[in-house]
Amino acid sequence: MTDKLIQRAVDLISIPSETPFGENINEKFEYCEQALDYLEDILKAMNAKTQRMVFDGGHPKWPYAVPNLYAEIEIGNYKESDPFLVYMGHIDVVPVGNTSQWKYNPFDASICNGFIYGRGATDMKTSVTTFITSVEQAIKDKTLEGKNLKIGFIITGDEEWAAINGSKKVLEFMKNNDKIPTAFIVGEPSSPDYLKDYIKVGRRGSLIGSLTVTGIQGHRAYKELYSNPNRPLNFALNLLNSIQWNDGNEYLPNTDFEIVALDAGSENATAIIPSQAKATWGIRYTDKTSAEELEVTLNNALNDIPDYLKSHPDYKIYKEFKENNKIKLVCNLSTASIPYFSVPNKLAYSAKKAMQSVLNHTPIFDSSGGTTDARFVHSFYPNADIIELGVPEKGGIVDGNIPTSYGTQGGMHQVNESVAIQDIYDLAKIYQKTIEIYAKEN
């Protein structure tokens, strides 16, 4: 299986399947189709039932067409009361950026010093080919004999950008066709450094927005000529930064607010007070709240000033700007990514046992990191188990030797993106053993 694992990873990475959005959209779409063709041929050879589907529209900003692949394999005498495990992955990748910074051709996968280099090596083409190959091997080894199980595959061409017409639409298709999975494995990178460390069981949602204060531009030395927006903006940000949430758990961090960027004056002259000051902010939030509830919370914080802040020298200025509608809060609700949390259950503990067996190490259940397509699952299947398990985010470490550029190159979305070959071998064993344990009786 080892040669097949590496060759398939190399083949898929070498297809330049950037998300089919922006420039050269038709060409990108065709490359995504080509990547799905490659995987569908493998799945058909495994006697899987496959279905291709293209979705478009559904959003005023991002209506572009997205190719998707759904497949399923029944093991034994499967019936609806038996386990139905679905793998979710994507073959679209982010742009490579400045190719002159790459040591290796990003779309001609290279093997060097125990790593495979190329765009998508970490996120997440290697995981896709590894899971499919591990299922193939389990069937060949007959390790699932005597077990009744269905294994499904959702492979999309759009996870990296809008994710409007990808996994979410395939899940909707499954729901409408009375397909009821019991659990999902999402093959996203799941540990920062070592494969053995974590299994994801949740991710916080993301809400982005802005706070804009409008004043009057004027000469710094003449107070009668300007109305400075920076001071009320600073006061407002203090109000928002003071909000505290206590809605996390042992696996999922609390909701939190952070300022992402500040923009106040671009004249490059110290004697000019700007007419506008703007802050871009971001909230990562748990499954205990929603983007709409957060919008209410932020507005309440801007309106209900604590008594201790009313003695602040900028309070009167802030109050004047607020009363004159010069302070505008915007929450980008249409682009918010929802959170999810899956209480560790049968699938999570199956993966944990598999990792203990393969790596002789006990992983930790974790919910850190950015959003993934796993967030869509509970909208359709609220009782399904979900885990995320894939190669390390930073590209991996071989034999304890940390690459000189580790952390700045080689990781997901970075220049010279890479994956350690040993992690591919280990992940294949983990996937196969997880399926075998999960397929057993409770």
Q: Active-site positions? A: 92, 159
Q: What's the CA gap between 133 and 125, in Å, rounded?
A: 12
Residues ≥6 apart with Cβ < 8 Å to 420: 114, 115, 391, 392, 395, 396, 397, 398
Question: 69 with 39: CB under 8 angstroms?
Answer: yes
199, β-bridge pairs? 365
Question: 394 with 388: CB under 8 angstroms?
Answer: no
Residue 413's Cβ-count burial label (10 Å; 0-12, 13-18, 19+) is middle
Question: 70 with 88: CB under 8 angstroms?
Answer: no
Residue that has been written with the tokens 């790596």 in this structure: 359
Residues ≥6 apart with Cβ < 8 Å to 47: 73
Query: How many residues does the structure list for the chain?
Result: 442
Question: 40 with 52: CB under 8 angstroms?
Answer: yes
Amino acid (1-letter code) at residue 14: S
Amino acid (1-letter code) at residue 225: L
